[in-house]
Amino acid sequence: MARVELVNVSKRYGDVIIVPGADLEIKDNEFIVFVGPSGCGKSTILRMIAGLEPISGGEIHIGDRVVNNVSPKSRNVAMVFQNYALYPHMTVRDNMGFSLKMAKRSKSEIDEAVNRAAEVLELGQLLDRKPSELSGGQRQRVAMGRAIVRQPDVFLFDEPLSNLDAQLRTQMRRELKKLHMKLATTTIYVTHDQIEAMTLASRIVILKDGEIQQVGTPVEVFEKPANVFVAQFIGNPPMNILEGIFETSGGSPVVRAGGSVFPVPEGRVPDLAGGAPVLVGLRPDSIKMGENVERLPKEWWCRGEVVVSEILGGQSLLEIVVDDNELIAEVEGRIEAQPGETVPIGFEFDRMVLFDPETTKAIS
Partner 1 sequence: MREVSRDRIKAFITLLPSVVLIGVFVYGFIGNTVWISMTDWRGGAALSENPVKNFIGMQNYVELFSGFLDGRFRQDLVNAVYYSVLLLVGAVGIGMFIAILLDRKPRGEDFLRTVFLYPMSLSFIVTGTIWRWLLAPQGGVNLLPTYLGGKALDFQWLSSMKTVLLFDWQNLFPILLYLAAFVLILLGLGKLRRDPSRAFKHYLVPGVVLGAVVWLFGDLLPRALFMEEEHGFNLATLGIILATIWQYSGYTMALYLAGFNGISQDLMDAARLDGASDFDYYMHVAIPMLKPITISAVIILSHISLKMFDLIFAMTGPDNAATGHPALDMYLTTFRANDFAKGAAIAIVLFLVAGTFIIPYLVTSYRQRRNAR
Residues of this chain that interact with partner 1 (CB under 8 A) are 47, 50-52, 71-73, 77-79, 81-83, 85, 87-90, 98-99, 101-103, 146, 150
Nearer to partner 1, 158 or 285 (CB): 158
326: left (phi over 0), alpha (psi -120 to 50) or beta: beta
User: What's the number of CA atoms in the CB half-sphere (13 Å) around residue 95?
Assistant: 29
Nearer to partner 1, 79 or 161 (CB): 79
Residue 298 is given by DSSP the state G
- From the CB of 79, what's the least distance to partner 1, in Å? 5
Residue type, position 216, single letter: G
Nearer to partner 1, 105 or 268 (CB): 105
Nearer to partner 1, 112 or 310 (CB): 112
DSSP alpha helix (H) spans, the chain: 42-50, 92-102, 107-121, 136-149, 166-183, 194-200, 218-223, 228-233
- From the CB of 140, what's the least distance to partner 1, in Å? 14
- From the CB of 61, what's the least distance to partner 1, in Å? 19
- From the CB of 178, what's the least distance to partner 1, in Å? 24
Nearer to partner 1, 79 or 242 (CB): 79
162: left (phi over 0), alpha (psi -120 to 50) or beta: alpha
Nearer to partner 1, 69 or 167 (CB): 69
Handedness of CA 289, 294, 296, 298 (dihedral sign): positive
- From the CB of 80, what's the least distance to partner 1, in Å? 9
- From the CB of 164, what's the least distance to partner 1, in Å? 16
For residues 258 and 265, the answer to whether their CB atoms sit within 8 Å is: no
For residues 5 and 61, the answer to whether their CB atoms sit within 8 Å is: yes
Other C-beta atoms lying within 10 Å of the C-beta of residue 130? 16
